[in-house]
Amino acid sequence: MVKLLLEPVNLLILDEPTNHLDLKTKDILKDALRAFEGTIILISHDRDFLEGLATKVFEFGNKRVREHFEDITGFLRNKKMENLREIERKGK
């Protein structure tokens, strides 16, 4: 992270940015992120918000990280899941 701060980069790191936002504000934020010309690291359980934003999914679990080269819909389809909360339940 320190290395990133030493060089000019277009990077946003967002952790659950839609918490406590109404639908209109979520849409405004999503449009702004779509227009952003840089890299976004986005942590969210909001499938509707991620749809159309995420082009790659990283799955953290069982002491490892798996990289999936697909959007959130493809990720869930391949995992045979309806929503992101199922991942949490399966991990317990």
- Walk me through the domains of the chain, giving residue ranges and CATH numbers: 2-91 (3.40.50.300)
Cα(first)–Cα(last) distance of the chain, in Å?
A: 31
What pTM was estimated for this model as a whole? 0.71
Interval 55-77 mean pLDDT: 89
pLDDT digit string, tens, across residues 36-53: 999 999 999 888 899 989
Range 54-82 average pLDDT: 87
Strands 64-68 and 11-15: unpaired
Pick from 29-38, 43-52, 53-62, 70-79 the range whose average pLDDT is largest.
29-38
- pLDDT at site 17: 96
Q: Which residue has the tokens 């290395």?
A: 3
